[in-house]
Amino acid sequence: MFTKWVKKVVLVCAVSLLGTLAIGCGGSGTPASTSGGSAATPSTATSASSDMLKTIQDRGYLIAGVKHDVPAMGQLRPGGLEPEGFEIDLMKALAKKIFGDENKIKLEKVESKTRISMLQNGQVDIVAGTTTITEERKQQVDFSDVYFLAGQSLLAQKGGSVQSVNDLKGKVVATVQGSTSAMNIRQMAPDAQVLEFPTYTEAFLALKQGRTDAMTTDNSILMGFAANEPDYELMGGPFSQEPYGLAFQKGHPEWVKYCNDFLKEMKDSGKYAELYKKWFKAEPPK
């Protein structure tokens, strides 16, 4: 009798223990977390997965590197809450394609000298930052198809001594660090003194203060400054071609293809032309 009673007690305890373990492991088989592991907030590092698009979708928002100092392309105005411009709207449209909501995006500030390293370090998923596609940069990052064709030009005061690149002998020219513009202008005007500034805003301020005779960079950028400053205008026409591409951390071809498909959809639908006209008051070049 006693032996039977002991067996019953052992059996009840074993059943209770198994029930407890089942509850601790999720009970009905539902995973404790749907994030693929810990319930902690997903990492924002973009190198977490070879499938970049899935990494972005799992995170719940896109991290786009954009300029804050380029009028009409990406500019944070004094007192503004976020930058605005053509490239900003382009990235919001990409967020809408991914999530159905253009607000599911974090706009991370990049500069010409930081945009490549921020991609390589996984701080951003993509850069839309007036980045010219060059063979040297292709060794560091991957690029989309061309989404904007610019050309390097000069910005100078109306009626001044600088009317074209041929007038730069002995003159001081402002540009920005980490851009192709500094290299180009040294080749085109070897007798000019080139001053490099961290941002376009600082380069333009040097021009306005009379510390330089001209400013040089892509005409798309200079047009933005000229639109707000009637005493300054573009001089002499473009003297280079600067094809802009969206830039990506290397090793994610599926993400590059997704964005190339997005750019094609934007152009085919007319949305690209709509954004171009909004910011540049002209039809996009064919």
- Give me the domains of the chain, ranges plus CATH numbers: 52-150+243-280 (3.40.190.10), 152-240 (3.40.190.10)
Q: Which two tokens stand for residue 73?
A: 């392309």
The label of the residue with tokens 């970049």 reads: 52
Q: Is the pLDDT of residue 235 over 90?
A: yes
Task: Tell me the sheet residues that pair with 42.
Answer: none
* pTM of structure: 0.77
Q: Give residue 96's pLDDT.
A: 98
Q: pLDDT tens, 3-42?
A: 444 344 334 334 343 333 333 333 333 222 222 332 233 3
* Distance (Å, whole) CA 208 – CA 47: 42
Lateral strand order in the sheet of 232-235: 193-197, 172-176, 214-218, 152-157, 232-235
Question: Over the stretch 81-102, which tens digit does the pLDDT of each residue have?
Answer: 999 999 999 999 999 999 999 9
